[in-house]
């Protein structure tokens, strides 16, 4: 059991950064970081980013200095490493490219949405989730592309996130109405985007609502992941609600899981059912048990 730090070589924000990792567990890493005064916002999935000025302090606190390549090997061997595409901070460029393909000429709005999705308090409802939903839409509609209204709804559906079910979706829909109106989109298109955003509060589209079913299926695709992926999802959701006690979180989460299991159907398109339904039911039932 050890915590490692590589040399401050990685440039950002006018300085250079080191990476702080554990070769054993995230619990060990978080405990070390907290004791050393490293803020939670510096955590990026499997490591902490620490500025050059903290390097000597961390070594003095017990972090073992190693070369960057050695640190990476330690992290891989620990089984804790997360691929770069799953880390929220690494997704700015690929997400901005996607935004510009959906609503070209409105890069400023794209940056605003990315800032919202990158807020420090988000762990699950982050840029990683946004990319996962967009990729799920690609998968469900290939070889075609999802309709612009559906893609825009994906971008806005958690644009406001304070952990308040129902209120977050409503405020996200209102934000979509305001921003897309300012962008000059037709009122009918804006109304459809806002409707779809509000639908993610229940994930229960009406029969025949193809666009609503598509967005809901993509938003819930995380439920059908492999057990390790589902475990990371649960851990991130718990971090989103770190301010809630264990007992209250367990009660609230159990209610959410029961509601999801009661949805009939849970997924709507035949493609989504094939891809995710069986695994989603297993994951939800195992979590509830």
Q: Which DSSP string corresponds to 148-195?
A: HHHHHHHHHTTSS-SS-TTHHHHHHHHHHHHHHHHTT--HHHHHHHHH
Same-domain status, 97 and 160:
yes
Same-domain status, 190 and 267:
yes
Q: What are the φ/ψ torsions at residue 225 (nearest 5 degrees)? A: -80, 170
Q: Which domain holds residue 54?
A: 3-81
Tell me the pLDDT tens digit for each residue of 93-103: 788 889 999 99
Q: Collect all residues with Cβ–Cβ distance below 8 Å to 6 and sequence separation of at least 6.
A: 18, 19, 65, 66, 67, 68, 70, 71
* Tokens matching residue 281: 């039911």
The domain total for the chain is: 2
| Residue 103: C-alpha distances to residues 1, 116, 231 (Å) | 49, 17, 34
In this structure, the strands spanning 3-5 and 64-65 are parallel
At 89, the pLDDT band (50, 70, 90 cuts) reads: low
Same-domain status, 70 and 159:
no
Same-domain status, 71 and 95:
no
Tell me the pLDDT tens digit for each residue of 175-185: 999 999 999 99
- According to the model, what pLDDT value does residue 86 have? 61
- According to the model, what pLDDT value does residue 76 have? 83
Q: Name which of 184, 177, 139, 140 is nearest 156 in CA terms.
A: 177
The answer to whether the CB of 28 falls within 8 A of the CB of 1 is yes
Domain C-terminal end among 81, 100, 123: 81
- According to the model, what pLDDT value does residue 134 have? 94
Tell me the pLDDT tens digit for each residue of 143-169: 888 999 999 999 999 999 998 889 999
Same-domain status, 60 and 96:
no
Checking if the pLDDT of 255 tops 60, the result is yes
């Amino acid at each position: 059991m050890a915590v490692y730090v590589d040399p401050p070589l990685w440039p950002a924000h006018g300085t250079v950064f080191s990476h702080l990792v554990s070769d054993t567990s995230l619990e060990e890493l978080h405990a070390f970081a907290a004791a050393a005064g490293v803020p939670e916002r510096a955590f990026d999935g499997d490591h902490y980013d620490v500025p050059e000025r903290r390097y000597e302090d961390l070594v003095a606190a017990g972090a073992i200095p190693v070369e960057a390549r050695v640190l990476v090997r330690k992290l891989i061997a620990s089984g804790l490493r997360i691929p770069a595409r799953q880390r929220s901070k690494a997704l700015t460029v690929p997400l901005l490219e996607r935004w510009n393909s959906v609503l070209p000429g409105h890069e400023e709005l794209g940056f605003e949405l990315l800032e919202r999705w990158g807020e420090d308090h988000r762990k699950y409802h982050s840029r990683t989730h946004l990319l996962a939903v967009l990729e799920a839409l690609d998968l469900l509609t290939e070889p075609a592309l999802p309709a612009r209204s559906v893609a825009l709804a994906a971008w806005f559906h958690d644009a406001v996130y304070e952990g308040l079910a129902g209120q977050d979706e409503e405020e996200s829909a209102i934000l979509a109405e305001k921003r897309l109106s300012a962008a000059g989109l037709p009122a009918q298109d804006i109304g459809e985007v806002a409707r779809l955003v509000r639908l993610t509060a229940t994930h229960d589209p009406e029969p025949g609502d193809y666009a609503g079913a598509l967005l809901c299926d993509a938003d819930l695709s995380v439920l059908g992941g492999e057990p390790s992926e589902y475990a990371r999802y649960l851990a991130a959701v718990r971090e989103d609600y770190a301010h809630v006690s264990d007992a209250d979180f367990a009660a609230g989460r159990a209610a959410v899981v029961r509601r999801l299991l009661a949805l009939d159907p849970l997924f709507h398109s035949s493609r989504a059912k094939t891809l995710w339904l069986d695994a989603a039911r297993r994951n939800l039932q195992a979590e509830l048990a």
